[in-house]
């Protein structure tokens, strides 16, 4: 009888080791190596196989318009690229309590009302618990079938018999294949379960949502091999202390990965935010230094956010730097530009940066707005409320052109902003007779306009 082999597999990165150790040498994580038993493969006789399916010329392959299923939630459809593609495998991850199950239960209700049957499989809750939550959300429909099961083989058979229009697995870490000796949630079980579900989706043309838990550093547990196997990866972001949630696609074989959907968590579930710009700047204080409005672009959507900066005297020898919503290293770079090129002695000051509403901004086009907010707080001079500041700043203090400038201006003008500071390289072909648009070449000219 062949001897069983034992391996120690990291649950964070998938690294395999022959011996257990406290620290994974692949990702340097502590206490993540778990013992798994690997059955030796039996030697099989070599079989001669004839190819039943022949290769085709790419010109001979016929394609048509994708018959997507609309979820009834426009923000979710936007992120997916227009709806759910039949036969697709979609992974959605996020912190516990962020709203993943709520969103999928609302999606199940809309799909069941517009199309047909939905199979909701939960490995963490009982049928009664799901019924109570659905009753609170008002998402009860006779076409929604609930199955509290963790056995992968039973799940596959139920899906084949029911033939639903949508299958939801909540969550993949609780599903196990009894033919494998490793425990549920291990790398082997997650990989095998995802592979079986992918075959189920492709062969039966059934779209499947699977929920994935995240690790302490925010990535999908499983590890990354899980993201490579699916068609679409969605991340639900947001601070539990805020009511706003952001759904972001990091992988999408059927659409763009730049789109985001914005929701607000309320008592009756998740509600779509159709005008996020109004939401983020509605409570902006007037005549207060260190506050500026910046138009960002997420995918095809322009969003106005309020950026706040606070510069104060350092109480200790080492100045404090704290940022929320922007890159900490980018802020340090811009502080050096202000110190070197403008002569503002900020390096010895405490600097705090905050993007209102818990929104994350990671594009370089907000550099000029960051500099304007920091200089405004340092000089204690308020930026006029009708101003919008946008532009990328280089190390020499120059202001560089940015993309999609017209979308940003149009969005800001809808909310009543009438004066813009933009890079001079973006002034060409702009025709806005009712707006004051200032083109600047460097940070000197920008700060002169708002001081």
Are residues 256 and 136 part of one domain? yes
Count structural domains, the chain.
3
Is residue 285 located within the same domain as residue 415? yes
28 and 76, same domain (yes or no):
no
Does one domain contain both 441 and 415? yes
The reply to whether 268 and 311 lie within a common domain is: no
Q: 335 in a domain, yes or no?
A: yes
Q: Is residue 392 part of a domain?
A: yes
**Which of 219, 253, 274 finishes a domain?**
274
**302 shares a domain with 392:** yes
Between CA 384 and CA 112 the distance in angstroms is 51
pLDDT tens per residue, the chain (451 residues)?
A: 556 677 888 877 778 888 888 888 888 888 888 887 766 555 555 555 555 678 888 888 877 666 889 999 999 999 998 899 999 999 998 888 888 999 999 999 999 999 989 999 998 899 999 999 999 999 999 999 999 999 999 999 999 999 999 999 988 889 999 988 777 877 888 888 999 999 999 999 999 999 987 765 556 655 466 788 899 999 888 766 677 888 988 899 988 887 888 898 888 889 998 888 888 888 888 889 999 999 998 877 889 999 999 999 887 778 889 999 899 999 999 999 999 888 888 888 899 999 987 788 888 999 999 999 999 999 999 999 899 999 999 999 999 999 999 999 999 998 889 999 999 999 987 889 899 999 999 999 999 988 7
Q: Between β-strands 399-400 and 208-212, what pairing exists: parallel, antiparallel or unpaired?
A: unpaired
pLDDT at 451: 74
> What pLDDT, on a 0 to 100 scale, did the predictor assign at position 318?
83
Q: Is residue 13 part of a domain?
A: yes
Out of 227, 245, 274, pick the residue that ends a domain.
274
pLDDT in tens, 113-147: 999 899 999 988 999 999 999 999 999 999 999 99
What SS3 class is residue 365? helix
Question: Does one domain contain both 343 and 446?
Answer: yes
Q: Do 117 and 30 have their domain in common? A: no
Residues 328, 283 share a domain: yes
Q: Which residues are annotated as a binding site for ATP?
A: 94-101
Convert the pLDDT of each residue in 434-446 to its tens digit.
Answer: 999 999 999 999 9
| Domain boundary, last residue among 254, 274, 294 | 274
Do 270 and 292 share a structural domain? no
Q: What is the CATH number of the domain that holds 332?
A: 3.30.230.10
d(Cα 295, Cα 152) in Å, to the nearest integer? 47
48 inside domain: no
* Residue 366 in domain: yes
Residues 165, 250 within the same domain: yes
Task: Using a cut of 0.85, tell me whether the model's pTM lies above it.
Answer: no
Cα distance from N-terminal residue to C-terminal residue, the chain: 83
Q: Which helix (H) or strand (E) holds 332?
A: helix 328-341
Is 46 domain-assigned?
no
- Which residues are known binding-site members? 94-101
Helix/strand/coil (H, E, C) string of 306-326? EEEEEEEECCCCCCCEEEECC
Looking at the fold, whether 411 and 318 belong to one and the same domain comes out as yes
Query: Domain of 232: which CATH number?
Result: 3.40.50.300
Residue 389 counted as domain residue:
yes
For 13-34, give the DSSP string.
T--EESS--SB-TTT--BS-EE
> What domain range is 422 assigned to?
278-450
187-232 pLDDT, tens digit each: 888 888 999 999 999 999 999 999 987 765 556 655 466 788 899 9
CB atoms < 10 A from the CB of 254, how many?
16
Q: Is residue 82 part of a domain?
A: yes
Whole-angstrom CA distances from 123 to 93, 95, 152, 185, 437 are 16, 17, 10, 11, 56
């Amino acid at each position: 009888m062949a001897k069983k082999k034992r391996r120690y597999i990291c649950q964070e990165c998938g690294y395999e080791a022959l011996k257990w150790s406290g620290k994974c040498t692949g990702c340097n994580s502590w206490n993540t190596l778990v013992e798994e038993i690997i059955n030796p493969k039996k030697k099989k006789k070599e079989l001669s196989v004839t190819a039943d399916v022949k290769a085709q010329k790419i010109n001979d392959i016929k394609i048509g318009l994708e018959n997507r299923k609309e979820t009834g939630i426009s923000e979710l459809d936007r992120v997916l690229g227009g709806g759910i593609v039949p036969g697709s495998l979609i992974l959605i991850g996020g912190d516990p309590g962020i709203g993943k199950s709520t969103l999928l239960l609302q999606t199940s209700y809309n799909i069941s009302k517009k199309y047909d049957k939905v199979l909701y499989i939960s490995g963490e809750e009982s049928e009664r618990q799901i019924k109570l939550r659905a009753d609170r959300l008002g998402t009860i429909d006779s076409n929604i079938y609930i199955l509290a099961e963790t056995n992968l083989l039973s799940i596959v058979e139920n899906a084949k018999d029911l033939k639903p229009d949508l299958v939801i697995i909540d969550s993949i870490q609780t599903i196990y294949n009894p033919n494998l000796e490793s425990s549920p949630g291990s790398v082997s079980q997650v990989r095998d379960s995802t592979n079986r579900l992918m075959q189920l989706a492709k062969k039966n043309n059934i779209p499947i949502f699977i929920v994935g838990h995240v690790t302490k550093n925010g990535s999908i547990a499983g590890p990354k091999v899980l993201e490579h196997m699916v068609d679409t990866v969605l991340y639900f972001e947001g601070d539990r202390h805020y009511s706003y949630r952001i759904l972001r696609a990091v992988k999408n074989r059927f659409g763009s990965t730049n789109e985001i959907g914005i929701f607000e968590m309320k008592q009756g579930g998740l509600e779509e935010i159709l005008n996020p710009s109004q939401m983020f700047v509605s409570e902006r204080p007037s005549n207060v230094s260190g506050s500026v409005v910046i138009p960002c672009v997420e995918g095809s959507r322009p969003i106005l956010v309020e950026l706040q900066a606070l510069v104060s005297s350092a109480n200790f020898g080492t100045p404090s730097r704290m940022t929320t919503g922007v890159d900490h290293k980018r802020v340090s770079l811009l502080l050096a530009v202000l110190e070197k090129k403008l002569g503002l002695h900020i390096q010895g000051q405490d600097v705090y940066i905050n993007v209102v509403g818990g929104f994350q901004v990671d594009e370089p086009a907000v550099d000029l707005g960051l500099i304007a907010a920091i200089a405004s707080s340092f000089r204690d001079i308020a930026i006029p409320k009708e101003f919008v500041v946008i532009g990328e700043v280089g190390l020499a203090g120059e202001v560089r052109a940015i993309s999609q400038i017209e979308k940003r201006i149009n969005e800001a003008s809808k909310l009543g902003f009438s004066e813009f500071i933009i890079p001079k390289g973006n002034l060409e072909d702009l025709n806005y007779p009712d707006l004051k648009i200032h083109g600047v070449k460097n940070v000197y000219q920008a700060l002169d306009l708002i001081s």
